[in-house]
A and B are shown apart, each in its own frame.
Chain A
Amino acid sequence: MLIEITKDLDQLAFAEVLEKESGTDVKKCYQCGKCTAGCPANYLMDISPSQTIRFSQMGMKEKILNSQTIWNCIFCETCSTRCPQGVDIKGVMDGLRRMAIRQGIRPKAQVRNLEKAFKDNIKSFGRVYEPGVVLDFNFRSGNILHDVIYFPLMLIKRKISLLPHFKRTAEVKRVLRKAFQISRKAQEEAKE
């Protein structure tokens, strides 16, 4: 791999965009590896958390936005809690994910399908109806029976109800739509 640094290139431009998105300054990272050391999901990542930060410092946007790392972070925040430099690595992962979603990047991991299932569930009911989320996720991921085999047991244990609760659905839908709108507008303005 070769990193070309030309004179007109603002090497830190990406770091600054990322700072706006995530609220954390990746320049602060001095590559001690504390985040990677404690990351429970590191083994699922193609780029370790500390290397993700390093690539961000070096402006290697495409490499990290297309990595599987950002989709495998489980937001446990062990990294951000322990970082000696106060870098919010979880926040960076979160931010990178939002940037990737906006760029239309599709992850191999199923996590986006779950997030979409959750979002639609919230929009429909105002409160999450978990069996519904699981079913929706299964349809999206194509694994119809995943966890469904446990439904009868869950019913016996009275762990799930047969029907969802509906709460303020119109309002929730409106607020979410509006929020997405505002964010999109801000993004477009930033591009100009």
Chain B
Amino acid sequence: MAKIGVFVCWCGSNIAETVDVKRAAETIAKIPGVVYSVDYKYMCSDPGQDMVKNAIKEYNLTGVVVASCSPRMHEKTFRKAASEAGLNPYMLEMANIREHCSWVHDNKEEATQKAIDLIRMMVEKVKRNKPLQNIKIPVTKKALVIGGGVTGIQAALDIAAGGIPVILLEREPSIGGHMSMLDETFPTLDCSQCILTPKMVEVAQNPLVTIMTYSELEKLEGFIGNFKATIKKKARHVNVEECTGCGTCWTKCPTKVTSEFEQGLGIRKAIYIPFPQAIPSRPVIDEANCMKFTQNRCGICAKICPKQCISYDDKEEFIEIEVGSIVVATGYDLMPTSAFGEYGYGKYPDVVTSLQFERMVCASGPTLGDLQRPSDKKKPKTVVFIQCVGSRDPEHHKAYCSKICCMYTAKQTMLYRHKVHDGNAYVFYIDIRSNGKNYEEFLRRAQEENKAQYIRGRVSMVYQDGPDLVVEGADTLTNSQVRIRADLVVLATAMVSPIGVKELAQKLGIGYDQHGFLTEAHPKLRPVESATAGIFLAGCAISPRDIPDSVSEASGAAAKVLGMLSKDELEKEGVVAIVRECSCTGCQNCIRVCPFTAIALKDIRDKAGNLIRQVANVNPGLCTGCGTCTPTCPSRSIDLQGFTDEEIFAEINAMAELH
């Protein structure tokens, strides 16, 4: 026989003002099975919790209903109290008479009646509740970081600093990401390579970090603490262990290819390292351009390699690794510039992107830092920078602000003025967003000391007139049109999610938004977690952000990984689906609808080992207790513990009886 205790909370005046709590408690006391019913001003307070604990002991309660706020608010609190008093925590339920009742109603009589109904439903449910146990999951103490830019590097370093082995995965031939392409960084103007290279070396030398470049995630199975990742290692055609990076091969390679790293402004060979500081400093053969692959001739590199490291027959490899946790730091790309016809990118060689401009002024760039415009190699005397190219344009391109363009444009005007002291730098902007430490001050320096001239308005179009580019725009502050004759135009193009991120997210089972940016579990309070347990996010993979933010998030994600992997076992709530194998027909409806791929087929075999049939089987580690599966089962063989059909029907019946 059930012995239920009911505790009706006033929540100060939040509930008591609209619900007659005394009457509710008295009415509930009359329900069969209720042996104790009481009201109190603040149930969540220490004395309130003590009332629950004492009643459990005194009346040997088998179930408890706390009628107060939303379970999101205090379910944990009261279940912990119940557990301390010796009651299985899942035998305590909450009736939400605040958000669902007192806060949304005015009529005290009706609200009181509704509160009584809500409590009665929970009483009927709790009578049928079964004690549940939390689930314990073993943990693989190893992490995977996807993306080898500054964010991934930082995450890998911080995880390794906690003693956990890390695999750092990068699809390009070298780690370093976009930061390695930048000249100087705002707001300190320190050289990007100079601060990144030491980190790259540090991560390469860390014995706990395994760097896998030119590699991608092929497949991911498993669940929090127990992931199994399949990594595709693309064919490099160079034996990385034997190669010394001497450079003979790429010096002699006859095939010139436009360099991706130089943003199309320089060239590389078909066998190449992307940039001198690359890690690993081992070349890779670009099959699409190497004559050995396209025309089956040449083969010079193999002939001259002093260590015989080159093998044209290499095939891609698939490697399986087990990890307990994953950090996704896949970064960003710039929006393809073909989208902006009015700015003439691609048509006029002197219209470049901001990333190209970085290479043009960078000491390690194709001109070794001697600023020349692409068309005639002349030093540009007037440069127009255009902000919000593709950003903040929901009608044509992206609705969001790319966040860093204001600051890097200010920086680029400074870099420009440092190279061309008498040059004119004009910036077209709509608003200036400089909300970071020392950012506004930096921006003021660009305008006041470096004389960057800011014009508030968008550019209508850019066209070539003789050797000049003509930029037509507006200055809304003088309510004028502006026409500038310029030598070079720099576009601050929108940051977008890189190609392949959506596919990657699908493999990982994590969410992404309409722009392909990965979705946080909570934008404010869980900013570096994905909705899938054990998978964390950092940097521009989430949305555009600058280096300091990306690096902070990398450390944040690493802390989450370390916190998780510091335990030998993970514990999670017992509210998971369970299959009644005797009646399951193996129809796989539940498998198809499960958003977390937590259900799989299981073989049922006889004693001789012959397969009799297949049934659904829930992996409790992956199951989040969402309940999507239960209504799809035609034989009602899958049920959600803690929310079983019986329990739910009891609630509904309790309500139906009353009305």
Q: Which residues of A come within 8 Å of B, CB atoms?
A: 1-7, 11-12, 25, 27-28, 30-31, 51, 54-55, 57-58, 60
Q: Are B426 and A5 in contact (CB under 8 A)?
A: yes
Contact, CB under 8 Å: B481 / A3: yes
Report the interface size class on chain B: 20 to 34
Since A5-B424, A58-B480 are in contact, a sample of 13 more A-B pairs with Cβ atoms closer than 8 Å, ordered by chain A residue number, is: A2-B483, A3-B475, A3-B483, A5-B426, A5-B483, A5-B485, A7-B424, A11-B424, A11-B453, A28-B444, A54-B477, A55-B478, A57-B453
Query: In residues 447-498 of chain B, which contact A (Cβ within 8 Å)?
Result: 447-448, 451, 453, 456, 468, 475, 477-487
Main secondary structure of the interface of B (DSSP, over half): strand
Using known A-B contacts A27-B448, A27-B451, determine if residue A51 contacts B477 with beta carbons closer than 8 Å.
Answer: yes
Among candidates B424, B426, B468, B482, residue contacting A2 with C-beta atoms closer than 8 Å? B482
In the docked arrangement, what's the CA distance between A46 and B579, Å? 80
Contacts of B480 in A (CB 8 A): 1-3, 58
A58 to B482, CA, bound (A): 10
Residues on B facing A (Cβ under 8 Å): 381-382, 424, 426, 444, 447-448, 451, 453, 456, 468, 475, 477-487
C-alpha gap A60/B475 in the complex (Å)? 13
Q: Please, which residues of chain A bring their CB within 8 A of the CB of B487?
A: 7
CB of B406 to closest CB in A, whole Å? 13
The answer, among B444, B447, B478, B483, for a CB contact under 8 Å with A4, is B483
**Is there contact, CB below 8 Å, between B478 and A7?**
no
Chain A contacts for B424, CB-based, 8 A? 5, 7, 11
Q: Is the CB of A2 within 8 A of B481?
A: yes
Q: Which of B381, B426, B485 has the most chain A CB atoms inside 10 A of its CB?
A: B485
* 18 A-B contacts (beta carbon < 8 Å): A1-B479, A1-B480, A2-B481, A2-B483, A3-B475, A3-B478, A5-B382, A5-B426, A5-B484, A5-B485, A6-B485, A7-B424, A12-B453, A25-B448, A27-B447, A27-B448, A57-B453, A58-B478
For B478, give its contact among A1, A6, A11 (CB under 8 Å).
Answer: A1
Residue of B nearest to A1 (CB): B480
Given contacts A3-B483, A7-B381, A7-B485, contact A28 B468 (CB under 8 A): no
A1 to B480, CA, bound (A): 5
Residues of the A chain whose Cβ atoms lie less than 8 Å from the Cβ of B477: 31, 51, 54
Task: Find out whether the CB atom of B481 lies under 8 angstroms from the CB atom of A7.
Answer: no
* Contact of A12 with B451 at beta-carbon distance under 8 Å, contacts A2-B483, A5-B426, A60-B478 already known: yes
A145–B87 Cα gap in the complex (Å)? 101
Contact of A3 among B444, B456, B468, B482 (CB under 8 A): B482
**In the bound complex, do residue B478 and residue A51 qualify as a contact, i.e. CB atoms below 8 Å apart?**
yes
A63 to chain B: closest residue by CB: B478
